[in-house]
């Protein structure tokens, strides 16, 4: 269909006609880019700016509208009212439906416990943040008012501290931001999912945040972690502190940390009691996972588990079988259940309508700048009011000179409209002053009243000078903010709820999931198929089956609960446990490691080793003739990580990996047909996994290292011909009698 041109020569949208149920319909064809720009982008921006992302006052629009409605309903100082009443009133500002408004109120309430400093003082059943099934009662059954801390949220809001805007239908005004007198943006945990971005802000202790803000105002180079050691959650628990990771979160606003539950052991009843959970999980999720593990036979120490939560708080009780060790069981449950979980941080905040991901220091700097403007506007408001009052009193002071004259002017004026002009002319005052004098009651037209009022002039002049000096001094403005923060700390501070446990102080977790421990023989083919075979099964049939084109790679003896390290051609290492593989037979192909371990597409297995106690060493041989000797302890992770990137150097393709228990002689081969024999003691150990290594074999430009094997696994007979005393060396051309049979490329020394 040809495009039609408008008078200005621009193409119009294509139009096509179609019959729909006998009716003629015209279809408008619109470019997808224009559809996105005109239809989708306004929606996306609305979600980002007006719904999902909190602003510098720490509130999303829905929360701000709710709290402001409650403030206007006099619920800061008045008695509680039905939640349904609050919800209905809030719909004047937030027309998103009563259910959404009530959910917002519940999350901010003291009863629900989702924020460290609740803004809603609730009465009735508001549910619990740590329970999936404990739902809140309907809004007609519960009552609420504003919590005392809201006095700091709305401090001086009537003194032009923040801007106001029309509500959705223009019938009333609402604040664009709330003049929060403390950094609520960091105190209250907040989560929001927008279009193309999200926000995840963890809560911090009120007193610690205020103290940090004070110290940063005094010293911009202040060490934040000295006063703000870690986040704080209303559900308590313990943070597993990795100092480097936490510093990165504080610096960039992104990262994650682990939180685990708190528990105690009742030896008399042989019961474990869990009384605090990570903020990210619920009691029901924990119980479901524990039940799943018990049913699968992976946890055999538990005889029963029940939820004993009551009015005193959360309590999950775990009955232990006789002989079970509480510490080992909890270590296992921390690894396998939501009793230990990660909290991912994404400090995305709207600053003047623009979303920005910021670190803690930058957030506090932005809050300080914004709060300084609020205080500056408040001081200017007070200054203007005092100036207006001073102006009126100065006019009143002129009346003091001749009260009788003022009375005579008013009495002798025939028309009411002429009173003000006559007073202005009689005393040399302006219209505002004249109106003020004219409104004085007859009983107050006496010398005593006027003297008392005019005595305020000197006091007002001093106050105005003080306010003017404050307005012109950033130091004075910040001094006001600091004093307000100190008062908030004194009045509202609460102890930390979430403990801090440093990761390097925790005992090394034992990988004990109840799996039986017995001898096994492991076979790995060249293409990465693994078979775990018991000695009994191996005696019955020792002939291994391989896929066409595949063949034997490496085999070793181990136990069922042993670990293996799988190195790939992408400089990555995967850790797995043999207990995770089913016992198999020699007559099957086995488990394909790239699929089982979730490797990247096209990633191939280069070596499989059994690290045992990580006391031995690995030697990586590369095509460029170099070798890197790295201690196995460099791959011993203290966490449950199953994938390790940058496991070895990426400067040259990997040829093979040798697991070294003690020094031995090895033979290196090149594609030129050369070989050399060297002792592994000539290779000095390196501490870094990514080391490029040292030269072993000197190669001509066209050739590369093709294989390295222990000397006893080669067919070399003329040993002196190839043996060298120093490295690197070129080696000697192989004689036919020294070639032997083709050997394996993945070896254990």
Q: Are 428 and 394 in contact (CB under 8 A)?
A: no
Convert 644-700 into a string of H (helix), E (strand) and C (coil): ECCCCCCCCCEEEEEEECCCCEEEEEECCCEEEEEEHHHCCECCCCCCCCEECECCC
How far CA 130 is from CA of 29, 104, 167, 200, in Å, comes to 51, 17, 35, 18
Q: Are strands 705-710 and 626-631 parallel, antiparallel or unpaired?
A: unpaired
In DSSP terms, 14 is beta-bridged to 29
Angle, CA 674 vertex, CA 669 and CA 680 arms, to 5°: 45
Give the active site residue among 40, 43, 141, 518.
Answer: 141
Angle, CA 98 vertex, CA 94 and CA 99 arms, to 5°: 120
- Alpha carbons within 13 angstroms on the beta-carbon side of residue 198 total 9
Record the tokens describing residue 98, joined without a space. Answer: 């009563």
Record the tokens describing residue 704, joined without a space. Answer: 């590369």
- The answer to whether 518 is a known catalytic residue is no
Q: How far apart are CA 564 and CA 670, in angstroms?
A: 29
Q: How far apart are CA 691 and CA 647, in angstroms?
A: 10
Q: Is 319 exposed, middle or buried (0-12, 13-18, 19+ CB in 10 A)?
A: middle
Q: How far apart are CA 27 and CA 5, in angstroms?
A: 18
How far CA 557 is from CA of 232, 520, 736, in Å, comes to 48, 6, 34
Q: How far apart are CA 609 and CA 607, in angstroms?
A: 7
Q: Are 240 and 221 in contact (CB under 8 A)?
A: no
Judged by DSSP in three states, 15 sits in: strand
Q: How far apart are CA 185 and CA 59, in angstroms?
A: 7
Q: Are 85 and 74 in contact (CB under 8 A)?
A: no
Q: Are 305 and 272 in contact (CB under 8 A)?
A: no
For residue 59, count other CB atoms closer than 10 A to its CB. 24
Active site members: 141
């Amino acid at each position: 269909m040809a495009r039609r041109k408008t008078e200005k020569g621009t193409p119009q949208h294509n139009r096509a006609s179609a019959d729909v149920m006998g009716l003629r319909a015209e279809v408008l064809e619109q470019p997808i880019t224009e559809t996105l720009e005109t239809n989708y982008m306004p929606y996306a921006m609305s979600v980002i700016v007006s719904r999902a992302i909190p602003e510098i006052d720490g509130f999303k629009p829905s929360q701000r509208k709710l709290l402001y409605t409650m403030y206007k309903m006099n619920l800061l100082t008045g008695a509680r009212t039905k939640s349904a009443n609050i919800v209905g009133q809030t719909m004047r500002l937030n027309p998103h439906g009563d259910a959404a408004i009530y959910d917002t109120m519940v999350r901010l309430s003291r009863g629900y416990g989702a924020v460290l400093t609740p803004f809603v003082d609730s009465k009735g059943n508001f549910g619990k943040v740590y329970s999936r099934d404990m739902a809140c009662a309907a809004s007609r059954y519960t009552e609420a008012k504003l919590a005392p801390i809201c006095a700091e949220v709305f401090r001086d809001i009537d003194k032009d501290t923040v801007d106001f805007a029309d509500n959705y239908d223009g019938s009333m005004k609402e604040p664009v931001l709330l003049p929060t007198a403390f950094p609520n943006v960091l105190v209250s945990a907040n989560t929001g999912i927008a279009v193309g971005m999200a926000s995840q802000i963890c809560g911090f202790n009120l007193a610690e945040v205020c103290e940090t803000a004070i110290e940063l105002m005094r010293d911009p180079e202040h060490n934040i972690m000295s006063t703000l050691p870690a986040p704080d959650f209303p559900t308590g628990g313990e943070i597993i502190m990795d100092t480097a990771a936490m510093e990165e979160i504080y610096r960039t606003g992104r990262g994650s940390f682990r939180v685990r539950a708190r528990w105690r052991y009742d030896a008399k009843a042989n019961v474990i009691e869990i009384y605090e959970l990570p903020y990210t999980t619920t009691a029901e999720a924990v119980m479901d996972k524990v039940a799943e593990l018990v049913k699968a036979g992976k946890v055999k120490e538990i005889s029963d588990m029940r939820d004993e939560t009551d009015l005193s708080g959360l309590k999950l009780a775990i009955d232990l079988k006789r002989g079970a060790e509480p510490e080992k069981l909890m270590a296992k449950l921390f690894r396998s259940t939501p009793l230990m979980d990660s909290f991912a941080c994404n400090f995305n905040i709207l600053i003047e309508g623009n979303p920005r991901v910021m670190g803690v220091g930058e957030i506090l700097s932005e809050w300080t700048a914004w709060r300084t403007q609020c205080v500056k506007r408040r001081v200017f408001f007070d200054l203007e009011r005092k100036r207006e009052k001073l102006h009126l009193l100065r006019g009143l002071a002129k009346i003091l000179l001749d009260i009788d004259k003022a009375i005579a002017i008013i009495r002798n004026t025939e028309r009411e409209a002429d009173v003000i002009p006559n007073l202005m002319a009689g005393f040399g005052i302006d219209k505002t002053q004249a109106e003020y004098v004219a409104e004085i009651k007859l009983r107050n037209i006496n010398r005593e009243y006027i003297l008392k009022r005019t005595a305020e002039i000197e006091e007002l002049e001093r106050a105005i000078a003080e306010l003017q000096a404050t307005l012109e001094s950033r130091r004075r403005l910040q001094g006001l903010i600091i004093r307000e923060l100190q008062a908030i700390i004194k009045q509202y501070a609460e102890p930390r709820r979430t403990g801090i446990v440093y990761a390097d102080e925790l005992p090394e977790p034992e990988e004990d999931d109840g799996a039986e421990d017995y001898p096994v023989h492991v076979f790995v083919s060249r293409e990465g198929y693994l078979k775990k075979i018991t000695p009994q099964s191996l005696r019955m049939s020792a002939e291994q089956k391989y896929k066409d084109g595949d063949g034997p790679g490496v085999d070793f003896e181990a136990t069922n609960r042993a670990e293996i390290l799988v190195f790939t051609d992408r400089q990555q290492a995967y850790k797995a446990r043999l207990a995770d593989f089913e016992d198999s037979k020699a007559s099957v192909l086995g488990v394909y490691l790239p699929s089982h371990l979730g490797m990247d597409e096209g990633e191939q297995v280069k070596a499989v080793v059994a690290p045992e106690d990580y006391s031995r060493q690995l030697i990586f041989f590369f095509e460029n003739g170099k070798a890197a000797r790295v201690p196995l302890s460099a791959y011993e992770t203290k966490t449950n990580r199953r994938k390790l990137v940058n496991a070895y150097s990426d400067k040259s393709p990997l040829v093979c990996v040798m697991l070294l228990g003690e020094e031995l002689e090895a033979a290196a081969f090149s594609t030129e047909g050369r070989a050399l024999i060297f002792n592994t003691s000539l290779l000095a150990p390196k501490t870094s996994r990514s080391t490029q290594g040292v030269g072993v074999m000197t190669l001509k430009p066209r050739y590369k290292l093709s294989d390295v094997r222990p000397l006893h696994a080669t067919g070399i007979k003329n040993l002196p011909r190839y043996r060298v005393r120093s490295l690197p060396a070129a080696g000697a051309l192989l004689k036919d009698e020294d070639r032997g049979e083709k050997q394996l490329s993945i070896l254990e020394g």
